[in-house]
Amino acid sequence: MSFEQLNFPDYLSRAVDNLNFSEATDIQAKAIPLIQEGKDLLAESQTGTGKTLAFSFPLIERINTLPPKKKKISILGLVLVPTRELALQVEKAFTNYAEFSLRPIKTATLIGGENIDGQIRKLRMGLDVLIATPGRIIELINLGEVRLVELEMLILDEADKMLDLGFADELKELLEALPKKRQNLLFSATLPQKVQQLAEEFLNAAVELRISRDQITGDNIEQRVIEVDANLRRQVLQKLFKDEQWKHTIIFVSSKRSAFNLANKLKKAGIQAQDFHGDLTQDERIKVLKRFQNKDFPILIATDIAARGIDISKLSHVINYDLPRSPMDYVHRIGRTGRAGQKGVAISFINPATEDHFKTIQKQAGIKLEKERIEGFDQITPVEVKQAKGPIKGKRKSKKDKLREKKDKSSS
């Protein structure tokens, strides 16, 4: 569907033209008319399909039709996201979409890791739309600094990740602080049971959209699985980087230490790489992402903090150096590439110890990949069967037997 068919007002059509958008994605084409009608929405759509525009355009349009606010400090739209990076990304996108709005729309992010006094000053000057992480906005609500009595629209973006990060209690506390009369939208890459239970608690006769129900992973992503000895992954990584001329790559690892160590080893091998993880300050994280986006270096080595909320244009490769813990994390990781119609490649390294886990990932993601091996790295150490230490179960003497033996010795 073309954006023209969605019949946006001129100020939104100008934004579409300015951003060189032509065709609406499935989630945009199906969700926007429902939101414009004022319906609550429960929507599942994979990462990179344009969910931010799908809720931003109707919110901008709604604000332009409202009478002046009763109080300057009242909030009209609230977007909740799981990570700081996603909050900053959504605010940037929203600002671009609202560039030609007839009514100026003031926005701000409320996230941890930034000075709370500065956020309070912005709130007191008057804002229309907040993009926030649950912990920080609850903190500001409890301080009496956020006015939500005129709230028109509540949007939960990446709801499954919010629950994975342990924000269930914060979300319930926040929902209790909101006015009863409002429109509610829940967007998520996946809809596991816990997300559907959350939806039942605050959505009102919601329309359900499952854009990605039949195919979790994107058609634009070439997925590969390479079997390699765990101790030779870095060497294989370096060979593939050189031979296949990777351009713009995120490598996912399981820990901050792994990110730091791998980045250092790649640098020593003459490959520019930067680690990205939760120990970096917010300013450091922003600078690293900006440099990566500008292609100052080709490889970003990240923990799962980067699996959501980072929109790097034309990202060529995603590498699962360490497999993700859950099948859904696999989907979110590889969803960093193949976005907005671009092609991408996702490669996972496996070995005998992780093969069964990858089979589970494939089953849940609805894929089946042929294992590859890289020439010169064919030898793979099999999993060692560890010998059990101590007595074999069922052979150890019971307390009753020991007491009986002790009694027999004393009587003899």
Structure-block tokens of residue 139: 């903190």
**61 in any annotated domain:** yes
Q: What pTM was estimated for this model as a whole?
A: 0.70
**395 in any annotated domain:** no
Question: Which of residues 190, 210, 230 is at a domain's end?
Answer: 210
**392 in any annotated domain:** no
Question: Which of residues 353, 372, 391 is at a domain's end?
Answer: 372
DSSP per-residue codes, 194-250: HHHHHHHHH-SS-EEEETTSS-SS-TTEEEEEEE--GGGHHHHHHHHHHHTT--SEE
Same domain, residue pair 276 and 191: no
Same domain, residue pair 227 and 358: yes
Burial class (CB in 10 A: 0-12, 13-18, 19+), 358: buried
**404 in any annotated domain:** no
Q: What is the pLDDT of residue 231?
A: 93
Q: What is the pLDDT of residue 393?
A: 45
Q: What is the pLDDT of residue 214?
A: 41
Same domain, residue pair 12 and 75: yes
Q: What is the pLDDT of residue 328?
A: 75
Neighbours of 377 (CB within 10 A): 16
Same domain, residue pair 49 and 158: yes
Q: What is the pLDDT of residue 394?
A: 47
Output the tens digit of pLDDT for each of the chain's 412 residues: 888 889 899 999 999 999 888 889 889 999 999 999 999 999 988 777 789 999 999 999 999 999 999 999 999 999 999 888 889 989 999 999 999 999 999 999 999 888 999 999 999 999 999 999 999 999 999 999 999 999 999 999 988 888 877 888 888 889 888 998 999 999 987 788 888 888 888 899 999 998 754 444 557 889 999 999 999 999 999 999 999 999 899 999 999 999 999 999 999 999 999 999 878 887 888 889 889 988 999 999 998 876 555 667 678 999 999 999 888 788 878 888 877 667 899 999 999 999 999 999 998 878 889 999 999 998 888 866 555 555 544 445 555 555 556 555 555 4
Question: Which of residues 210, 231, 266 is at a domain's end?
Answer: 210
**108 in any annotated domain:** yes
Same domain, residue pair 199 and 241: no
Burial 311-345 (b: 16+ CB within 10 A, else e): bbeebbbbbbbbbbebbbbbbbbbbbbbbeeeebb
Same domain, residue pair 191 and 328: no
Same domain, residue pair 201 and 236: no
Same domain, residue pair 265 and 140: no
**391 in any annotated domain:** no
Q: What is the pLDDT of residue 315?
A: 86
Number of domains in the chain: 2
**380 in any annotated domain:** no
Same domain, residue pair 245 and 190: no
Residue of 302, 321, 308, 319 whose CA lies nearest to 260: 302
Same domain, residue pair 31 and 178: yes
**410 in any annotated domain:** no
Residue-range definition of the domain harbouring residue 304 = 221-372
CATH of the domain at 163: 3.40.50.300
Same domain, residue pair 185 and 280: no
Q: What is the pLDDT of residue 410?
A: 52
Same domain, residue pair 159 and 13: yes
